[in-house]
Amino acid sequence: MFRRIAMMILAGFILASCAGFGGSNSTAVRKIVVGMPYIPNVQFAAFYVAKEQGYFAAEGLDVSFDYNFENDVVQRVATGAGVDFALASADTILLARAQSVPVVAVLATSQVFPVGFISKQGLPLATPADLKGKVVGIPGRFGASYFGLNALLTSAGMTEADVTIQEIGFNQTPALIEDKVQVISGYVNNEPIVLEKNGVAVNVLRVSDFFAVGSDHLIVSEAFLASDREVVKAFTRALKKGMQSAIANPESAHADALKQIPEAQHGDTTVSMAVLKATTPMWQVNDGSLGTITPSAWENSAEVLTAMGKLQQPADLAKAYDLAINE
Q: What is the pLDDT of residues 201-214, one digit of tens each?
A: 999 999 999 999 99
pTM for this entry: 0.85
Res 3: pLDDT: 40
Q: How far apart are CA 157 and CA 125, in angstroms?
A: 17
Q: Judge if 11-112+214-326 and 115-209 fold alike in CATH terms.
A: yes
Query: What value, to the nearest 5°, has the Cα angle with vertex 302 and ends 301 and 305?
Result: 90
Q: Which CATH architecture group holds 115-209?
A: 3-Layer(aba) Sandwich (3.40)
Domain locations in the chain?
Answer: 11-112+214-326, 115-209
Q: Could you give phi then psi for residue 104, rounded to 5 degrees?
A: -135, 135
The per-residue pLDDT for range 18-44, each reduced to its tens digit, is 433 333 344 689 999 999 988 888 999
Would you state the pLDDT for residue 266? Answer: 64
Say how far apart CA 70 and CA 198 lie, in whole Å: 28
User: pLDDT value at position 70?
Assistant: 65
Q: Which CATH class is domain 11-112+214-326?
A: alpha beta
pLDDT surpassing 60 at residue 279: yes
pLDDT at res. 202:
98
Which residues, including other chains, have CB under 8 Å from residue 115's CB and lie 6 or more apart?
144, 145, 147, 148, 185, 186, 187, 188, 207
As separate numbers, helices (DSSP H) first and strands (DSSP E) second, the chain gives 13, 10
- pLDDT per residue as tens digits for the range 75-98: 999 998 899 999 999 999 999 999
Lowest mean pLDDT among 142-146, 254-258, 299-303: 142-146
Q: How far apart are CA 240 and CA 244, in angstroms?
A: 6
* Secondary structure (3-state) at 45: helix
Q: 129: Cβ–Cβ under 8 A, 6 or more apart, which residues? A: 156, 158
Calculate what percentage of the chain has a pLDDT beyond 70.
90
Query: How high is the mean pLDDT of the chain?
Result: 89
Do the beta carbons of residue 219 and residue 86 sit within 8 Å? Answer: yes
pLDDT of residue 258: 93
- Lowest pLDDT segment from 14-18, 51-55, 183-187: 14-18
H/E run at residue 307? helix 295-307
Which of 5-19, 48-62, 129-143 has the least mean pLDDT? 5-19
Is beta strand 135-138 parallel, antiparallel or unpaired with respect to 164-167? Answer: parallel
Instruction: Kindly give the interhelix angle for 143-155 and 295-307, rounded to the nearest 10 degrees.
Output: 90
The whole-number average pLDDT for the span 86-113 is: 96
**DSSP H or E segment with residue 167:** strand 164-167
